[in-house]
Homo-oligomer: A and B are copies of this chain.
Amino acid sequence: MSEVAVQAGLLDRALRRVSSLWRDMASVVGANESSPDLTARLRDALDGRGGEVSARNRAASLAEAYRTLNADGRTDFLRALAAFDSNPGAVARAMEAVAAASDAAERAVATARLRRALEPPRIRLLTAFAAIPDGVKFLVDMRADLMARIDGDKLLLALETDLKALLASWFDVSFLELRRIDWHSPANLLEKLVQYEAVHRIRHWRDLKNRLESDRRCYAFFHPRMPEEPLIFVEVALTKGMSPSVQRLLDLKAPVLDPASADTAVFYSINNCQRGLDGISFGNFLIKRVVGLLSDEFRNIKTFCTLSPIPGFRRWLESLLTGDEAPLTEEERKALHAIAALLPETVPDDAQEETILRALIARRGVLRVEEAQRALDPILTRLCARYLAKEENPSRPGRARDPVAHFHLSNGARIERLNWRADTSENGHRQSVGLMVNYLYDPDRIEKNHELYMGEGKRAVSNALRKLGKAA
């Protein structure tokens, strides 16, 4: 009999006892703003009456009840829970002892006591909630509920802070399991990939199967207590050369490459799966571990890179083109007029060049015209190189403006190559006029790149791209 089944058994008995009470409560809490009963029951779950096992069972039955609550009921529940803060008097006394400590050793002990005094009782409740079947997933989802409700509510914020700390301890990367996902994986797990893939939507099971072929790899982190729930996953294509187009990668009709002949691993999609784990990052570790695994398995693979979206480029470009800077070169201006003359119904030839450019990129159809493609390639590529390599986050100077660029740069990657017409989907057009970028993970330079970026704000950029960014 499994652990989970045992817990289920214990809880089941506990639940049967309280179920009639709870059915009432669930409706009451769902309907009314006040919940004195709920507070009483939370207190009940905290006290040791009947022993620790019984108290935990009471807490577990509270967690089960939470699942049945409607949105308002949950808000009430979370507020009632948040109210179980540390005892102010005890905290005050412990703070005094810290202040009064005369040497480091005394201070160390007083500090430890203060930490204990500060530990709010609600944390014990949260911990007890973990005991129900799927209890860890329950807490992850509860944090998602909380985040959606904070909105300035400091009590909820404090509870959320506690829960985040708890989850961060449990989900420390050293507790996670890296598992490969392939076409032999359980269907219910694969279904979750379909559900969680947000970068390049999985359209149907054939699309999914194509992403799990022998020239592909998919890896995810899992927590031992959530064995069927990926936390984050990465999709990798094994290719010859850095891939310049995501549509080509996802083409169902493309032949499958013998992976032994691949020289490059392209990380083309990374997805976080659990909203309730926001801010507890694994992406960094995932990429580096997968690089390790692949270089062990395939001695011929020398290049590890991404094929990444540039989500902020289009918006930045629009603001640049409506601003005061006059960012285009003479040559570019001429080329834009030429293309405008070719497509009179799209844009008047006599418009200002910035206006022409905005009009051209406004319509995805224009980019199917070969001449437009040719003309816009150097212009947009140059501006995008500048965006990635130079533009800074207005509120965090020294950091790249593009969030994906910032993620990879802070992981020690290098901005390697821009690819025109790399994502011709509507989404790709909306984000970056179809441009995508390869970030290069060179194991020998990751640390140095990271240091330069985080320490001095210097970005690792390939020579080609650096030149492009400087042009004009």
> Is A112 interfacial (CB 8 A cutoff)?
yes
A319 to chain B, nearest CB (A): 32
> What residues of chain A have their CB less than 8 Å away from a CB belonging to chain B?
1, 3, 6-7, 9-10, 48-54, 56, 82, 85-86, 88, 91-92, 95, 98-99, 104-109, 111-112, 114-115, 118-120, 127-128, 130-131, 135, 153-155, 157-158, 161-162, 165-166, 169-170, 172-179, 183-188, 190-191, 204-205, 209, 224-225, 228, 284-285, 288-289, 292-293, 296-297, 410-412, 446-448, 450-451, 454
Report B-chain residues with C-beta under 8 Å of the C-beta of A112: 157-158, 161-162
Contact yes or no, A158 B109, CB < 8 A: yes
Report B-chain residues with C-beta under 8 Å of the C-beta of A51: 284, 410-412, 446-447, 450, 454
Contact yes or no, A174 B293, CB < 8 A: no
From known contacts A92-B99, A173-B131, A288-B53, infer whether A1 and B293 are also in contact, taking CB-CB under 8 Å: yes
7 contacts between A and B (CB under 8 A): A9-B296, A53-B285, A95-B98, A108-B157, A131-B174, A135-B174, A224-B225
Contact yes or no, B172 A127, CB < 8 A: yes
Q: Which of B50, B85, B162 contacts A450 (CB 8 A)?
A: B50
Contact yes or no, B111 A86, CB < 8 A: yes
Report B-chain residues with C-beta under 8 Å of the C-beta of A288: 10, 53
Expressed in whole angstroms, the Cα–Cα distance for A178 and B9 within the complex equals: 13
Contact yes or no, A157 B109, CB < 8 A: yes
Contact yes or no, B109 A118, CB < 8 A: no
Contact yes or no, B451 A50, CB < 8 A: yes
A234 to chain B, nearest CB (A): 14
Contact yes or no, B130 A54, CB < 8 A: no
Expressed in whole angstroms, the Cα–Cα distance for A108 and B87 within the complex equals: 11
Contact yes or no, B85 A108, CB < 8 A: yes
Report B-chain residues with C-beta under 8 Å of the C-beta of A175: 130, 170, 224-225
A409 to chain B, nearest CB (A): 11
Report B-chain residues with C-beta under 8 Å of the C-beta of A82: 108
Expressed in whole angstroms, the Cα–Cα distance for A169 and B126 within the complex equals: 11
Q: Which of B10, B52, B183, B187 contacts A292 (CB 8 A)?
A: B10
Closest to A159 in B: B108
Contact yes or no, B154 A293, CB < 8 A: no
Contact yes or no, B172 A10, CB < 8 A: no
| Given A1-B293, A54-B450: 10 more A-B contacts, CB < 8 Å | A3-B177, A50-B451, A51-B447, A106-B154, A114-B118, A130-B175, A131-B174, A174-B225, A184-B187, A185-B186
A4 to chain B, nearest CB (A): 9
Contact yes or no, A6 B209, CB < 8 A: no
Expressed in whole angstroms, the Cα–Cα distance for A107 and B158 within the complex equals: 10
Report B-chain residues with C-beta under 8 Å of the C-beta of A178: 3, 6
Contact yes or no, B107 A99, CB < 8 A: no
Expressed in whole angstroms, the Cα–Cα distance for A175 and B1 within the complex equals: 16
A5 to chain B, nearest CB (A): 9
Report B-chain residues with C-beta under 8 Å of the C-beta of A135: 174
Closest to A50 in B: B447
Report B-chain residues with C-beta under 8 Å of the C-beta of A412: 50-51
Contact yes or no, A109 B154, CB < 8 A: yes
4 shortest interchain CB distances as A-B pairs:
A50-B447, A105-B154, A108-B158, A131-B174
Report B-chain residues with C-beta under 8 Å of the C-beta of A285: 52-53
Closest to A443 in B: B13
Expressed in whole angstroms, the Cα–Cα distance for A198 and B144 within the complex equals: 45
Contact yes or no, B155 A108, CB < 8 A: yes
